Copies of this chain bind each other. A is one copy, B any other.
């Protein structure tokens, strides 16, 4: 299930850091390893998890491996969380409206 995979991939600080770095554009594995101050070999191990989760995809161009975010996968997580936020905001708006109405009625009653 894509959502399970996406959230699982985000449940680790190194994986989140890779995703955040790639948000600004594709990068080679060497560039990524450098920006995390890691040996290429160790970094390859770290990269395996978000790749397995389908959050990051990579392709070999000549002798270089280029990584980028799989926006479809992270998009499903974005959608779930933002729908959650919007629904919560709508609920708070309704509460706000209700409290305003109670306030108005009270004022009217106090007059």
Residues of chain A whose beta carbon lies under 8 Å from any beta carbon of chain B: 1, 3-5, 7-8, 10-13, 16, 19-20, 23-25, 74, 77-78, 80-82, 84-85, 87-88, 91
Contact = CB atoms under 8 A, between A and B. Distances in A.
A91 B11 contact: no
Nearest to A91: B24
A3 B16 contact: yes
A12 B23 contact: no
B82 A16 contact: no
A23 B81 contact: no
Contact of A84 (B4, B7, B19, B88): B19
A78 B80 contact: no
